[in-house]
């Protein structure tokens, strides 16, 4: 089993004390986001590797040496201001943390996500190219892979339409991103790829690779896994994960996020978090049945 921490919220940035307490006790309880009455228990003894996804890896740095399983980090590093990412810390601190991660776990296990890209009057093609170039300069020698994706039509995106002010991509936009990002990445000994996109930009030099391919998972664990079967999987061949996160619980409040779509619910879930609970949000009620997830 591959443990996802997490694609539903940023556990590393905001809930690392809870995660490590559960890690030490040997299990995590997870309420099914679509069928809340179903609760599964993921036992650490069944975990082959851990897939960390975060916008801020700093809180996990003191605990890295305690984690015994193989790890992969996906760190999202984007170019947007506080009006788009109100809860994200200073990007220079994130870059420093990526460098430390690379030094400690190996650069082949630290991926940077420039994700998602959207275009507006402020965030133009030229703007993204300049920021991407600077990012690659600062991380030269520390990472090998950059993952790119484009803005999707999530509920939260529609809710924040006036804030994002995003325009549609043209073929020329894709070409400019494809050619320039490929050239910049190559100059800094990096590979660039898309994630879950119809336009994979292979014709401009992007590599054909999944974020968590069966080949990579096998290299890390010596095991093979079933393909991910979530709703986005039409353009994705990644292996499946067991996610321990909760939707609508991330205080980053990014205006493009798929995992937050109700800010009142986010605030409520944050208040209902307890580091001593076996669940990320709330606690088990008397009589609730928990099934071991194999």
| Helix (H/G/I), strand (E/B), else coil: 68 | coil
- Cα(255)–Cα(159) distance, rounded to whole angstroms? 8
pLDDT above 90 coverage of the chain, percent? 86
- 279 near 41, Cβ under 8 Å? no
Query: Residue 181: which residues within 8 A CB-CB, separation 6 or more?
Result: 129, 132, 146, 148, 192, 201, 204, 206
- Residues whose CB falls within 8 Å of the CB of residue 176, separated by 6 or more in sequence, listed in order: 125, 129
Amino acid 230: pLDDT: 58
Q: Find out whether 142 and 112 touch, Cβ atoms under 8 Å.
A: no
Series of mean pLDDT values for 10-residue runs along the chain (294 residues): 96 98 98 95 98 98 98 96 97 98 97 97 98 98 96 94 96 97 98 88 91 87 81 68 96 96 96 98 93 92
Identify which of 192, 189, 173 has the alpha carbon closest to the alpha carbon of residue 181: 192
pLDDT at residue number 215? 87
Q: Per residue in 100-139, pLDDT tens?
A: 999 999 999 999 999 999 999 999 999 999 999 999 999 9
- Give me the pLDDT at residue 294, please: 85
The pLDDT value recorded for residue 238 is: 80
Largest Cα span, the chain: 59
Whole-prediction pTM: 0.95
Q: For position 92, what pLDDT does the model report?
A: 97
**Which is nearest to 273 in space by CA: 248, 242, 254?**
248
Counted domains in the chain: 1
Q: Which domain holds residue 241?
A: 2-292
């Amino acid at each position: 089993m591959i443990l996802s921490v997490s694609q539903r919220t940023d556990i590393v940035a905001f809930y690392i004390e809870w995660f490590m307490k559960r890690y030490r006790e040997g299990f995590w309880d997870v309420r099914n986001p679509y069928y809340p009455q179903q609760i599964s228990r993921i036992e650490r003894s069944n975990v082959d590797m851990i897939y960390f996804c975060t916008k801020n890896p700093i809180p996990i740095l003191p605990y890295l040496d305690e984690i015994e399983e193989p790890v992969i980090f996906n760190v999202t590093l984007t170019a947007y201001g506080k009006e788009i990412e109100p809860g994200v810390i200073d990007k220079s601190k994130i870059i420093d943390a990526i460098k430390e991660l690379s030094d400690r776990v190996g650069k082949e296990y630290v991926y940077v996500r420039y994700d998602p890209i959207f275009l507006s009057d402020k965030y133009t093609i030229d703007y993204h190219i300049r920021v991407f170039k600077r990012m690659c300069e600062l991380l030269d020698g520390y990472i090998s892979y950059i993952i790119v994706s484009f803005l999707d039509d999530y509920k939260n995106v529609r809710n924040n339409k006036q804030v994002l002010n995003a325009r549609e991509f043209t073929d020329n936009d894709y070409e400019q991103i494809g050619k320039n990002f490929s050239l910049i990445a190559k100059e800094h000994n990096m590979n660039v790829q898309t994630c879950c996109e119809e336009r994979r930009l292979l014709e401009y030099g992007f590599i054909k690779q999944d974020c968590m391919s069966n080949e990579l998972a096998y290299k890390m664990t010596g095991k093979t896994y079933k393909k991910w079967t979530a709703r986005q999987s039409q353009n994705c061949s990644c292996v499946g994960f067991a996610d321990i996160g909760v939707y609508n619980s991330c205080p980053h409040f990014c205006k493009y996020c798929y995992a937050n779509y109700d800010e009142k619910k986010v605030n409520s879930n944050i208040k209902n978090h307890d580091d001593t609970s076996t669940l990320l949000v709330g606690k088990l009620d008397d009589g609730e049945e928990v099934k071991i997830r194999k």
